[in-house]
């Protein structure tokens, strides 16, 4: 199957720091990428849908000024958590769509905000 990578895999930062997470589709072009957040023992919650070259569509309750998404190319999307706080600590997972409605997930980034 298609491969999606995420970087970094883990980040620990102080409160107030901004954190950038990269999501790359390695062997296919992804017109659409998705960002999810997963709290312990919870399911994946869609945060936003990102289309290459256009603004991301955010789910209700997700602050677009706090979770900045840039989908600059068909293989790269970035999520920046602006001024992270401890309540932002979570597992952030991206996925990339291949056009036939399949989504392939990255390995996730564990963010811990102290």
Among residues 9 and 15, whose Cβ is nearest to another protein?
9
Among residues 43 and 54, whose Cβ is nearest to another protein?
43
Angle at 11 between CA 6 and CA 14, to 5 degrees: 145
Provide the minimum distance between the beta carbon of 2 and another protein in the complex, in angstroms, as a whole number.
9
Among residues 11 and 108, whose Cβ is nearest to another protein?
108
Among residues 16 and 54, whose Cβ is nearest to another protein?
54
Provide the minimum distance between the beta carbon of 114 and another protein in the complex, in angstroms, as a whole number.
19
Q: Which helix (H) or strand (E) holds 16?
A: none
CA 108 to CA 106: how far, in whole Å? 6
User: How is residue 55 annotated by DSSP?
Assistant: P
Provide the minimum distance between the beta carbon of 95 and another protein in the complex, in angstroms, as a whole number.
8
**What tokens were used for 13?**
């930062």
Residue with tokens 């569509």: 57
Residues that bind another protein (CB under 8 A): 1, 4, 6, 32, 34, 41-44, 46, 49, 91, 93, 97, 101-108, 110
Rg (CA), the chain: 13
């Amino acid at each position: 199957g298609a491969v999606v990578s995420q970087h970094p895999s883990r980040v620990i930062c102080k409160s107030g720091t901004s954190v950038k997470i990269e999501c790359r589709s390695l062997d296919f072009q992804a017109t659409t990428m998705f960002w999810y957040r997963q709290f312990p023992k919870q399911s994946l919650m869609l945060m936003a849908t990102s289309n290459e070259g256009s603004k991301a569509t955010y789910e209700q309750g997700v602050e677009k000024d706090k979770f900045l998404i840039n989908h600059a190319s068909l293989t790269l999307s970035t999520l920046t958590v602006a001024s992270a706080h401890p309540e932002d600590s979570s597992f952030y997972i991206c996925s990339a769509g291949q056009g036939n409605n399949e989504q392939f997930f990255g390995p996730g980034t564990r963010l811990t905000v102290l």
